[in-house]
Amino acid sequence: MAKTVIIGGVAGGASTAARLRRLDEKAEIVVFERGSHVSYANCGLPYYAGGVIQERERLFLMTPQKFRDILDVDVRVDSEVIDLDPAAKTVSVRERSGREYAESYDSLVLSPGAEPMRPPIPGIDDARILTVRSVPDIDRVKDVLDTARPERAVVIGAGFIGLEMAENLWERGIAVTVVEALDQVMNVVDFEMAAPVHHHLRDKGVGLYLKDGVQAFVRDESGLKIRLASETELLTDLVILSIGVKPDTKLALAAGIELDARGHIVVDEFLRTNLPGIYAVGDAIVAKSPLTGKPMPVPLAGPANKQARLVADTIVHGPRKPWKGSIATAVAKVFDLTVACTGLSEKLCVREGIPFRSVIVHPGSHAGYYPGAQSYALKLLWNPENGKILGAQAVGRDGVDKRIDAIAAHLGMGGSVHDLAEFEHAYAPPFASAKDGTNYAAFCAENILEGLTNSVSWNQVEAWKVRGALLLDVRTPQEFELGHMDGARNVSNTEIRARLAEVPRDRPVLLYCGVGLRGYLAERILRQEGFTDVANLSGGWKTWQAATAPQTNPGSYRPAQQRPHDIMHDDTVSEGSGVPENLPAPVGPTLHVDTCGLQCPGPIISLKKAMDEVAPGTRVVVKSSDAGFSRDAQAWCNITKNRLVSVTEEKGIWTAVFEKNRPAAAPAGLTNPVPGMFVSGDEATIIVFSNDLDRALASFVIANGALATGKRVTMFFTFWGLSVVKKREKVKVRKDFMGRMFDMMLPGNANALNLSQMNFGGVGAWLMKKRMAAFQVDRLEEMMAAAIKAGVHMTACQMSMELMGVAREELMEGVETGGVASYLEAAGTAGINLFI
């Protein structure tokens, strides 16, 4: 009777034992597990902490007793294997009681898993710093949550488990901050696919620090202080350390089993180690990736369980079925979003030197006309040489997992984008569209392969600008007004045929629209009209805007009791209506508009249409499934001077209440007719024309003073004034001769400005700065920082920038570019307009 010993009794180990018994009733099977539990749901641990899974018992799928009763498997918990003797084919076991003994085997299966990394950071041994891997780990977390009742928690590491923990702590009413050393969360997906998650975390009130590592943990009277590399200090009551795992393979190493440089057990296609009769599965191993042909660890439960099944087969039947390798398909819930991926990401392709093309689309979870459709972002990567699918990633609220599963099925079988284009999915309006998002992404890929379109990704826009491309925004003028790329020209796709003369033929043209479709339509028109150097932005404004917006949200600790879906624009809200109680009664009946399923600009267009139809003082309630709608709604109200009364969110549906402006209730003067709306006299504009230090100082003294009196301030930097808002560090940009001349002759930034009088070759400016320090007057740069922080709207004149060869990249963070219209818009309602 063959005897198999298995080390590790959870995912890989338990599955091996169960399959082995099903294949061989006579086999002797012994499982050693160091902990007290076997076959438990480690993937469910975060949800137990959050109270989503309420009964601890539900985590345990099997017990040693059940293993014995149902499968006749000898499971020995609290039994650590402390030594292997491959020559003698024995393992040494130490029980929790201290008793040690040896056990022989014919076949040995290692499934020891991985352990959380705990780098030697000063203070890391503090009892408030916890990891999540096993049942005892989560018991500790639960105990802290139930007894110490922490108000603040910091999750370090924003991988899948870190974010699941963040969500579950938040569910418990804890103010959560996430700290990540990389520039994005969930590193398995590409940056632009992680960007919506960054914004979602902000929407949920979760603090997010990216590109910031922990330097030290310091005990503090009021909590535990986390010192970050940026010198930010976060005070917290609890830390969840989730910065990755390392294989638990000390035992294998000591026994002479071959490991890779990172300590993973190296296995062949039959999951055999280098020592005869010894197999390994799960998080501890590294196997060849079918996509790169190189070893790639995949610490996921799916592969561990499937490897276990194959090893059992091999032990019983010999090497018949090889392990093809894992394509790394994963999914996670992050608050209301689902993030999923399969295969290679763009950054992995770049790292491995694998040729790829990619496209991003934003399809609906099901037919737009059927209620409740929500859009998700889907990125598809393929090999341009043969069209084979390389990978896919998706993020959204609904339908994400099934799309990634469908693509994973194609990818796993070596499918191409042509196969995916023909993929016949189950369709009825509540479930999908006749052309599913997966088909749609594949159609785009085919169009690219056939040369019908040149698709450009969001991070190539700057390169197109450097090439001198015209950015052509083919959305509607209303969408353009709500936000557009600096320097873009607006010709909507419905007008482009009539306005072809406005599209230059002597420079490249980069088209963009909301999500990529209208840009493609416009590109096809241009190409057929003889334009050749033209391209379309993949994923459109939606992807570009999410990826280029600020990603972190320093200091956004917010008690969870005050969650975004509870946040109103006023304090008192009448129950159920979503409308603040203290407003004057609306005029006439409220108009309800349901735009769910409509993509941008659908909701805004519907809103405008409804507002045009109703009388002043009437309320319009708009429901939208577009996450960007809440921001667009505010921007639209700012421009149109209508009132956004409230925005609420529930299960991915945003409900915004608007009130049409009541001109009669808005007397000219200094008071606001409706709280939150600015009227004439509440604004100040300053044109900064000069690059003299004293004049720049005066501008910012006035700006900060105006802010302090509650005014909204717009500063417009034009001609020489552009020097004031240039970055301190030199940015490399390509310039023409005159641009280079201006660069040489003008001050490079605010720190290099001269006085308008008594400058004496810079000595005057130096003396002035000394004097300001002596009189404790803030330096210009400090004044500028204060102004930016307080919300001064700073705009650099686009025309002056072009004349003087100043590039967008040279401007300080927070400075926008605009034309005279943007100045006039602000000046038109301002009570103070200054030219300095």
**Binds ligand FAD (CB under 6 A): choice among 5, 11, 59, 341:** 11
Count each helix (H run) and each strand (E run) in the chain, helices first: 24, 40
Query: Of 7-15, 560-568, 581-589, 716-724, which segment contacts ligand FAD by CB under 6 A?
Result: 7-15
Q: Tell me which stretch binds ligand FAD (CB under 6 A): 301-309, 435-443, 536-544, 743-751.
A: 301-309
Residue 526's contacts (CB-CB under 8 Å, 6 or more residues apart) are 496, 500, 503, 509, 511, 534
Task: Using DSSP bridges, classify how beta strands 389-396 and 337-343 pair: parallel, antiparallel or unpaired.
Answer: antiparallel
Assign 616 to helix, strand or coil: coil
User: Taking CB under 6 A as the criterion, which residues in 710-739 touch ligand FAD?
Assistant: none
CB of 305 to ligand FAD, least distance (A): 8
* Cis previous bond, 64, omega within 30: no
Q: Which of 157, 176, 180, 152 is nearest to 166 (CA)?
A: 176
How far is residue 388's CA from residue 416's CA, in Å, rounded to a whole number?
A: 4
Q: Does 157 bind ligand FAD (CB under 6 A)?
A: no
132 near ligand FAD, judged by CB under 6 A? yes
Q: Is 111 in the site for ligand FAD (CB under 6 A)?
A: yes
Contacting residues for 206 by C-beta, under 8 A, at least 6 apart = 166, 170, 176, 177, 178, 556
Q: How many CB atoms lie within 10 A of CB 460?
A: 14
Nearer to ligand FAD, 112 or 540 (CB): 112
**Contact with ligand FAD (CB under 6 A) among 108, 300, 607, 787:** 300
How many other β-carbons are positioned within 10 Å of the β-carbon of residue 169? 26
Question: In the stretch 26-65, what mask flags binding to ligand FAD with x, by CB under 6 A?
Answer: ------xxxx------xx-xx-------------------
Stretch that binds ligand FAD, among 109-117, 230-238, 366-374, 791-799 (CB under 6 A): 109-117
Min dist. Cβ of residue 290 to ligand FAD (A): 18
Piece of 17-25, 107-115, 508-516, 603-611 that binds ligand FAD (CB under 6 A): 107-115
Select the span of 299-307, 319-327, 608-616, 807-815 touching ligand FAD (CB under 6 A): 299-307
Cα separation, 22 vs 534, in Å, equals: 61
**334 burial class (0-12, 13-18, 19+ CB within 10 angstroms)?**
buried
Tokens of 145: 């949550």
Question: Which one, 76 or 565, has the nearer CB to ligand FAD?
Answer: 76
Residue of this chain nearest to ligand FAD (CB atom)? 282
The DSSP H or E segment spanning 714 is strand 712-717
Asked whether 779 and 760 are in contact (CB, 8 A), the reply is no
Dist CA 786 CA 395 (whole Å): 36
Closest by CA to 377, choosing from 329, 425, 441, is 441
Q: How far apart are CA 508 and CA 561, in angstroms?
A: 51
Quick one: CA dihedral 59, 65, 66, 72, positive or negative?
positive
- Residues 59, 48: contact at Cβ < 8 Å? yes
513 is catalytic: yes
Name which of 30 and 703 has its Cβ closer to ligand FAD. Answer: 30
Binder to ligand FAD among 4, 5, 6, 7 (CB under 6 A)? 7
- Judged by beta carbon, residue 92 or residue 459, the one nearer ligand FAD is 92
Given the complex with ligand FAD, which of 42 and 184 has the nearer CB atom? 42
Q: At closest approach, how far in Å is the CB of 82 from ligand FAD?
A: 7
CB atoms within 10 A of CB 315: 24
Give the residue, chosen from 27, 71, 155, 161, that forms a contact with ligand FAD under the rule CB under 6 A: 161
CB–CB of 724/691 below 8 Å? Answer: yes
C-beta of 6 vs 653, nearer to ligand FAD: 6
DSSP string, 449-515: HTTS--EE-GGGHHHHHHTT-EEEE-S-HHHHHH---TT-EE--TTTTTTTGGGS-SSS-EEEE-SS
User: Nearest distance from residue 398's CB to ligand FAD, in Å?
Assistant: 19
**Range in contact with ligand FAD (rule: CB under 6 A) among 4-12, 224-232, 477-485, 539-547:** 4-12
* Minimum distance from residue 280 beta carbon to ligand FAD (Å): 9
| Stretch of 296-304, 467-475, 492-500, 654-662 lying at the interface with ligand FAD (CB under 6 A) | 296-304
Q: Give the DSSP H/E element, type plus range, for residue 593.
A: strand 591-594
Q: Among residues 513, 596, 637, 797, which one is catalytic?
A: 513
Which of 412/721 has CB closer to ligand FAD?
412
Q: Does 217 bind ligand FAD (CB under 6 A)?
A: no
What residues pair up with 715 in beta bridges, in sequence order?
686, 794
Dihedral sign, CA of 173, 174, 175, 178?
Answer: negative
CB 209 to ligand FAD: min, Å: 22
> Is residue 237 close enough to count as binding ligand FAD by CB under 6 A?
no
- Contact yes or no for 512/544 (Cβ under 8 A): yes
Question: By C-beta, is 297 or 387 nearer to ligand FAD?
Answer: 297
Minimum separation from the CB atom of position 117 to ligand FAD (A): 12
| Choice from 181, 301, 701, 832 touching ligand FAD (CB under 6 A) | 301
- In the shown chain, the binding pattern of residues 246 to 285 toward ligand FAD, with x for contact by CB under 6 A and - for none, equals --x--x------------------------------xxx-
Question: For ligand FAD, which stretch binds (CB under 6 A), given 106-114, 439-447, 566-574, 601-609?
Answer: 106-114
Choice between 94 and 608, CB closer to ligand FAD:
94
Among 136, 276, 293, 302, binds ligand FAD (CB under 6 A): 302
Token pair 């304090």 is found at 571
Count of positions on this chain that bind ligand FAD (CB under 6 A) = 32
Q: Of the two residues 111 and 624, which places its CB atom closer to ligand FAD in the complex? A: 111
Q: Just list the catalytic residues.
A: 513
Interface contacts to ligand FAD, rule CB under 6 A: 7-8, 10-13, 32-35, 42-43, 45-46, 80-81, 111-113, 132-133, 161, 248, 251, 282-284, 299-302, 304
